[in-house]
Amino acid sequence: MRKGVAVSPGVAVGTAYCIHEIFVNPDTQRLEEADVASELALFEEAREKAGDELRAMAIKVASQIGDSAARIFAVHETILRDPVFSRKIRHWIVEDRLKAAAALVRLLDEYSTLLSRTGDDYLKERISDIREVVTRVSAHLTDVLKPQLNPLIGSLIVVADELLPSQAVALGDIDVRGIVTQGGSQTSHAAIVARSRGIPAVCGVEGVLRHIKTGDTVVVDGREGHVLVNPPPETASAFRKLEREFFHLKDQLAANREHPAVTADGERLELLANINSVADARAACAMGATGIGLFRTEYLYLTHASVPDEEEQVAVYRDIIDASPGHQVTIRTLDIGGDKTVPYLGHTHQEANPFLGWRSIRLSFEHPQFFTTQLRAVLRAAHHAQSRGGAVRLMFPMITTVEEMRRVRRMVHQAATQLQEAGKAFASVPIGMMLEVPAAAISIEAMLRHADFVSVGSNDLVQYLMAADRDNPKVSHLCQPLAPPVLRLLNHVIKACRKRNKPLTVCGEMAGQPRAFVLLLGMGLRSFSMSPAFIPSIKELANHVTVADAQEILRRALKRSTIRGVQRLLGEELKRLAPDLALLDIATP
């Protein structure tokens, strides 16, 4: 049994599918002499395809963003075309009989070792460029995450070093029952993806890819944070029984999709959904959401090889609106950076502190033409929503200062003026801010003079407040939404918004966590946005809790001085209020 961080509740038993083995455990089996020529041909074909991609992306990015942003692709193509690069790979295929993918990993290791020893920062940064090139070529050599080529049958447990956004998108077509990663925490990307799909998951399992191979039988216990590899038959049978109970409970809860979200004493709530795609919007409808509280537009960019133009964006936003409950959608502008990067914006992993650096609204401000294209597309889509009897709200991520809110308002006005002059139909939209930075939370009264609404992004707010990287398992014990400082700050923000009568939604992952939900309800929050999979369980929990219950539990929680003390209190209260939902709770870390 391996121990990790419980990040998405439930139990799953299935067959391991290791999707990140290209950098962890490449196939080192020697080629037969008869296969050398075909392996060389495979490498050359993959190299040419990668080169064609880089050239096409450079041209499109240069035309839509500028030459400076396109230079990264020129650098990558130069590396790809370097005779030494290809000569080494060919030599290892012919002389050492390595497969092309294994030769690429050896090349990456060799360059990484060489460049890491230099005192030149510029040369050290080239490691990430080489990794990007190796990854791009490898993608044309392997069938990773291509379900039609996947030889495994039945329920799959995805095992990875880390789950990147681009990989997460690919998971949508595979029957994944569980997720296990070496890195991450309760608010890491892998955790968010798992919860959005109701998949049991455990993160932060050190060395898991050394102990699990594709084809192994794996048990994932997302309540306790346990991972079992090839358990004995009686153990596997016991967990399969728990797995059946988990799915039965989810089916039972899904039946309440038509019921209104109300507390035990009749207080109406708004349960919205966080989504990444049209498929997520349809899932939100199926789960009984009343609207979309957060559409993360960055996934549109992450799934495009280059910049999506205005017409492409308008088409996607319209599709989202058409598929969403009540055609009510809050669209967040591009939130790239931290754990989500796109090379064509000139953004790489080279920053020392990417979560504190050039990301989100800061990046958008540096690309005003690119940013305005997105604003124009949202305003045009808002007109479409109005024609359907719905509405669009526009939200900006990582707002830190009043000056930034003033600036985004000016840019929205400019985008509307451009559309008016071009004779294109558009609609005015409420302009809101994503509250993720403690500085903005502390000065919430001043921010509310410029924001029509507020959405709390608790994932980033927690990590910034607690100074703990949410993707680092070494400090995940600090990155907890139920930490007393987090609760006190949220209580302050909610009271300020209610006093000014400004709409407020919590759309971070804590909105869908049963323990946090009770406290937020006690603080006065009435609008919650969460992964679609969590809506039925939160709706059921609300039916068991009165506002007075929640206020009393909050009063007691605010007196606790430790995370463990708050967790223990909430665990006891949930068992008392809704014992049938125990399978969907996560154990105290």
**Active-site amino acid positions:** 189, 507
Query: Do you know the residue count of the chain?
Result: 589
562-571 long-range Cβ contacts below 8 angstroms, 24+ apart? 562/484, 563/477, 563/480, 563/482, 563/483, 563/484, 563/589, 564/588, 566/482, 566/483, 566/484, 566/487, 567/480, 567/482, 567/515, 570/482, 570/515, 570/518, 570/519, 571/515
Q: Which H or E element spans position 492?
A: helix 484-500
What type of residue sits at position 117?
A: R
Report the number of secondary-structure helices (H) and strands (E) in the chain.
Answer: 24, 16
Mention every residue, 6+ apart, whose C-beta is less than 8 A from residue 285: 323, 324, 325
Q: How many CB atoms lie within 10 A of CB 88?
A: 17
State the Cα angle at 453 between 447 and 457, rounded to 5°.
80
C-alpha 244/C-alpha 220 separation (Å) is 13
C-alpha 317/C-alpha 321 separation (Å) is 6
Question: Dihedral sign, CA of 389, 393, 394, 395?
Answer: negative
Reduced to 3 states, what is the DSSP secondary structure of residue 564? Answer: helix
C-alpha 51/C-alpha 158 separation (Å) is 30
**DSSP state string for 228-278:** EES--HHHHHHHHHHHHHHHHHHHHHHTTTTS--B-TT--B-EEEEEESSH
Q: Within 82-141, where are the H helices?
A: 83-95, 100-116, 121-139
Q: Beta 201-203 vs 5-8: how paired, if at all?
A: antiparallel
Reduced to 3 states, what is the DSSP secondary structure of residue 215? Answer: coil
C-alpha 147/C-alpha 150 separation (Å) is 5
Q: Which of 334, 357, 523, 488 is nearest to 411 (CA)?
A: 334
Q: Beta 5-8 vs 2-3: how paired, if at all?
A: unpaired
Token pair 């295929």 is at which residue? 93
